[in-house]
């Protein structure tokens, strides 16, 4: 998950929407046109100004040299760096310099969090989080005005979805996601519990309890389930996604 703007919803219900965006209206258009069987699973993006972002993503394709060549020749890609080579897929860090000038400002203006992005020759699939349901209408209208087509796949309340899928309340998810994003679980830690608690508007003791319960619930749901969605290995996750 990656956050373009902080989302704090102490009094409301956050809503998640899943959208499809045409290849030509988002990132890596040249690469996905050149290698239509390529797939990209974005781990994180960090804004580098109003016209570019730094992206860390997994790439999968029929041929490494073909994919590498397409990325190197893509005029919207800069500072391409290979981080991990697993033979069947590769982790890259790169800057996207074009294709986001319409969508990113709309996300920021409507306090949206881009939770996940997956791209292939069929288009990009985005999962967005907004503070309240009404923001989606305004967000979609803003994107349409700027030439971006958001096709709605589904919309649901975050709290209901998390409770049924992960056993997490919305507040537990927000604390866990923010801690992960800010590097709280890294060694050494990149942020203190005091700073995280202040960002969430709660006490340090409340943060500690929230993280403890969230971690326990998440482990209970994922490790105890026979059909856990994280219980696959490379390259199985690519096949699982396409079903």
Residue-wise pLDDT tens digits, 48-91: 766 678 999 999 888 899 999 999 999 999 999 999 998 888 99
| Per-residue pLDDT at 72 | 95
Does residue 232 surpass a pLDDT of 50? no
pLDDT > 70 fraction of the chain, expressed in percent and rounded: 80
Question: Please, which pLDDT band fits residue 4 given cuts at 50, 70 and 90?
Answer: very low
DSSP H helical segments within the chain, as ranges?
29-34, 64-73, 103-109, 134-145, 158-165, 170-182, 193-200, 204-223, 236-242
d(CA 40, CA 89) in angstroms, rounded, equals 10
| Per-residue pLDDT at 115 | 80
Domain range annotation of the chain: 15-157, 166-225
Return the closest-CA partner of residue 134 out of 220, 9, 235. 9
| Per-residue pLDDT at 11 | 44
**Beta bridge pairs of residue 81:** 93
* Domain 166-225, CATH: 1.10.10
Which of 65-79, 106-120, 187-201, 214-228 has maximum average pLDDT?
65-79
| Per-residue pLDDT at 70 | 96
Q: Rounded to 5 degrees, what are φ and ψ at 209?
A: -65, -40
Does residue 163 surpass a pLDDT of 80? no
Does residue 241 surpass a pLDDT of 60? no
**Beta bridge pairs of residue 57:** 42, 92
Residues in CB range of 27: below 8 A, 6 or more apart: 55, 76, 96, 99, 100, 119, 124
d(CA 28, CA 40) in angstroms, rounded, equals 9
Q: For the chain, give percent helix, strand, coil, nearest 5.
A: 40, 25, 35
Question: Please, which pLDDT band fits residue 159 given cuts at 50, 70 and 90?
Answer: low
| Per-residue pLDDT at 67 | 94
d(CA 117, CA 99) in angstroms, rounded, equals 14
pTM of the model: 0.62
| Per-residue pLDDT at 223 | 64
pLDDT > 90 fraction of the chain, expressed in percent and rounded: 25
Question: Please, which pLDDT band fits residue 195 given cuts at 50, 70 and 90?
Answer: very high
Cα 202–Cα 203–Cα 204 angle in degrees, nearest 5: 120
Which of 76-85, 148-157, 163-172 has maximum average pLDDT?
76-85
């Amino acid at each position: 998950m990656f956050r373009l703007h902080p989302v704090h919803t102490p009094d409301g219900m956050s809503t998640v929407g899943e959208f499809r965006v045409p290849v030509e209206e988002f990132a890596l258009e040249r690469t996905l046109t050149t290698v239509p069987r390529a797939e990209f699973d974005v781990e994180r993006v960090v804004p580098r100004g109003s016209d570019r972002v730094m992206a860390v993503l997994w790439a999968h394709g029929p041929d490494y040299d073909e994919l590498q060549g397409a990325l190197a020749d893509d005029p919207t890609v800069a500072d391409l760096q290979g981080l991990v080579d697993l033979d069947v897929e590769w982790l890259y860090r790169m800057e996207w310099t074009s294709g986001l000038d319409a969508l990113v400002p709309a996300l920021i203006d409507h306090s949206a969090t881009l939770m996940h992005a997956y791209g292939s020759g069929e288009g990009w699939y985005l999962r967005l989080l907004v503070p309240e349901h009404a923001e989606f209408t305004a967000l979609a209208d803003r994107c349409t005005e700027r030439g971006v087509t958001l096709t709605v796949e589904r919309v649901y309340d975050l709290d209901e979805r998390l409770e049924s899928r992960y056993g997490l309340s919305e507040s537990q998810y927000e604390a866990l996601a923010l801690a992960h994003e800010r590097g709280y679980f890294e060694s050494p830690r990149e942020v203190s519990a005091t700073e995280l608690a202040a960002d969430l508007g709660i006490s340090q003791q409340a943060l500690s309890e929230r993280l403890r319960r969230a971690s326990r619930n998440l482990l209970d749901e994922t490790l105890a389930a026979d059909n856990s969605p994280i219980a696959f290995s490379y390259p199985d996750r690519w096949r699982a996604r396409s079903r």
